[in-house]
Amino acid sequence: MASDNTEGRSTTLPTNDDMPIKSDSDDQEKGAVTEVREALLDIEHAVVVDDPRKWSPFRKATALFIIASASMIAGLAVNIYNPAIGQIEDQLHATSGEISLSLSLFILLQGGVPIIWSSVSEILGRKIVYITSITLSVVGCIVAAEAHSIGVLIGMRCIQAVGSSAVMAIGAATLADIYDPSERGTMMGIYYAAPLLGPSLGPILGGILTQLLDWRATFWFLVIFMGCTVVMFVCFFRDTFRRERSLVYQTVLRRNRELREREILASKRSSKTVVYEQSEKKTTKQDVQSAVEPVDALPESVTPPLEEVKLSLKDVNPFPPQLLVLRRWNNVAILFASGLFFGFTYCIMYTCALTLENKYHYNFLKTGLVMLSFGVGSMCGSILGGRWSDRVLRQLKALNGGHHYPEMRLESTKPAMPFFPLAVIAYGWLAEKHVHIAALCVALFFSGFFSVWIYSSTLAYIVDANTGRSSSAVATNSCFRGLSAFVFAEIAVPLLNSIGDGGLYTLWAGILIVTEGLVLVVLYKGGRWREKAEAREARRPTCHWLAIVLRYMGIQQSGMPVPDQPEDIEEDQAVESGMHQDVMTDGADTENAASSEASNTATAHSEDEKDARLRRREQMLIKQQTELKEKREARLAAKRTQDENRRREDAMRRPPKRRATPPDSPLSVLSRRFLPGNK
């Protein structure tokens, strides 16, 4: 049954499986699902106080600069450590296995821990997570700089990885808070260019500091750099998180509403008078109706102020948001592609350093300078690819009547797809044949250029396709990246030793072709997968828990059409009046029995009696709904018969149509004029 709210809109309540279902109930339910899904999609444009999208360009640029600077921490922390491995082995008496463990654990934690940081940021905000995580990383670096055993160093490296991983988890989500989708491609490209500098500058800085000072100087450099970043966040960064635009916070709020509804129902069930029950029914119906209304994110209206909720450990559980992200097939495909792209980046930087050291006999400083070509190419690909992505998105949006969908952004990856595997194969065989270093630098430049050209668009798509939970989606992407980097870091050296650079990167070219195929699949089929997932997610919070509430309340379900004719209204009112009298009689008997027994003993109000009353009411409602359904069907059948008889009577009253006489042919005219007997 459709019940009108105070604003004049109709809200369709979900249909119980035990209730009779009308032929048009599916259309009503689809309409409700569509309304809720559109509201969920518009959560990104909810009206908020101090909207970050309306900040001045200078304030936006300041936030982008601070986030980009902080994003360099992860890349620097990984690679600045590598040139000092020899000194660490000598001074701390560490084995190669322990050194390898310190590298692998750092990569693994840096990829997995962002899931926790993203969940916390969706409730507590971005700024507090930035400050807390970087401060934790500073503490790890200070203790690591004073370490005198390899065990302490490994432990502090783990803490350092945990702290430095937060920026990569929520940096893209912060940009999504500030910039509209039409601007994100360019800004994502600028933002992602900074962390690409870390892997390129890390070996150079590490080699210089190790040769001039000591391996401990690398950690003190990180302490100074991260300390300056913390100061910038404290003094110049304003939090961009708005809970009205967070699906995680809305889920917590909806859960509290559900608990409130259950408490109201419990108090209603324990009431002793019918009058009190009826008043509570009216209040509860209004509350449930307001819970169904999609007021979380109306795009062009003032969003109601959200109440303060008390958070628990369940609210910051990182796994439900990640599972929601992974339930969409478009996310799974693009996350696998993103992980493989990052795995390639880490593999080529790791194996290239070994190749330059073993075949070209370069020291750490020269190796870092050669690797800088890959970093410069990645920066150019990130910036130019982001700008091209926004340009393609604007063109497709104009051709589509001003409307856009996230998959349009992946169209910009097509120009780079044919050249990326070719550049990878070229690098592999140039390194295998030990050609001049200039050719190797050119191959590294284009490998980084095309790799990040595609990756920047996939990262922007991950943000655009997960409206309201962009932080969780980016954290899941970081997890895929970390696992991919961890796996390829473990198998890269054995493969390099067995099949060489040429065979390894020919294999990588085949993997990248498959990866590009995944991106194309998302481009052409991702929209359909995403819409189905959004409809499923919109249906669940509206129908799942509310159906349980309505079952306890006995509210009439959807699928009951409203009569159109006056006689239909009178009949339905008569039926409902009889149902109301039965309910009043049953309620009066129950009240009298309860009051008489309450004076004698307190055990009369047992759960069995309450359940029996609820069952009787439910059976009565089912019976009345069945009667209404039968009457409705009978009226429709009578109306169809009446219309058919009226059409037949009209057909009988009409005069028969005369057939039009065909015109005489010239031969018949001549025969009548000249032949006798034919006149």
H-type helices in 42-179, by residue range? 57-79, 85-92, 96-112, 114-124, 126-145, 150-178
The answer to whether the CB of 226 falls within 8 A of the CB of 134 is yes
Which residues have a Cβ under 8 Å from the Cβ of 284 and sit 6 or more positions away?
261, 264, 265, 268, 553
pLDDT at position 108, please?
A: 79
Summarize pLDDT for 653-670 with one digit per residue, the tens: 665 555 544 445 555 555
**Strand (E) or helix (H) holding 3:** strand 2-4
b/e burial code for range 382-418 (CB count within 10 A of at least 16 → b): bbbbbbbbbebbeebbeeeeeebbbbbbbebbeebbe
Summarize pLDDT for 476-491 with one digit per residue, the tens: 887 788 788 778 877 8
pLDDT at position 551, please?
A: 45
b/e burial code for range 360-379 (CB count within 10 A of at least 16 → b): eebebbbbbbbbbbbbbbbb
| Summary mean pLDDT of the chain | 72
C-alpha span between 665 and 677 (Å, rounded)? 18
Flag whether pLDDT at 443 surpasses 70: yes
The number of residues making up the chain comes to 679
pLDDT at position 419, please?
A: 93
The answer to whether the CB of 66 falls within 8 A of the CB of 194 is no
Summarize pLDDT for 510-520 with one digit per residue, the tens: 999 999 999 99
Summarize pLDDT for 212-221 with one digit per residue, the tens: 888 888 889 9
Tokens of 444: 């590294």
The answer to whether the CB of 118 falls within 8 A of the CB of 318 is yes
List C-alpha distances in Å: 391 to 97, 247, 405, 537.
49, 29, 14, 32
pLDDT at position 576, please?
A: 44
C-alpha span between 557 and 547 (Å, rounded)? 9
List C-alpha distances in Å: 525 to 413, 518, 528, 578.
16, 10, 6, 54
C-alpha span between 198 and 193 (Å, rounded)? 9
C-alpha span between 552 and 522 (Å, rounded)? 43
pLDDT at position 311, please?
A: 54
C-alpha span between 315 and 309 (Å, rounded)? 11
Q: Under DSSP, is residue 322 helix (H, G, I), strand (E, B) or coil?
A: helix
Flag whether pLDDT at 125 surpasses 60: yes
Summarize pLDDT for 309-357 with one digit per residue, the tens: 555 556 656 666 677 788 888 888 888 898 888 888 878 887 887 888 7
pLDDT at position 92, please?
A: 84
pTM over 0.85: no
pLDDT at position 273, please?
A: 47
Flag whether pLDDT at 587 surpasses 60: no
How confident is residue 231, by pLDDT bands cut at 50, 70 and 90?
very high
Summarize pLDDT for 512-564 with one digit per residue, the tens: 999 999 999 998 888 888 888 777 776 654 444 434 443 444 443 333 333 34
The answer to whether the CB of 110 falls within 8 A of the CB of 159 is no
pLDDT at position 427, please?
A: 94
Flag whether pLDDT at 76 surpasses 80: yes
Flag whether pLDDT at 197 surpasses 80: no
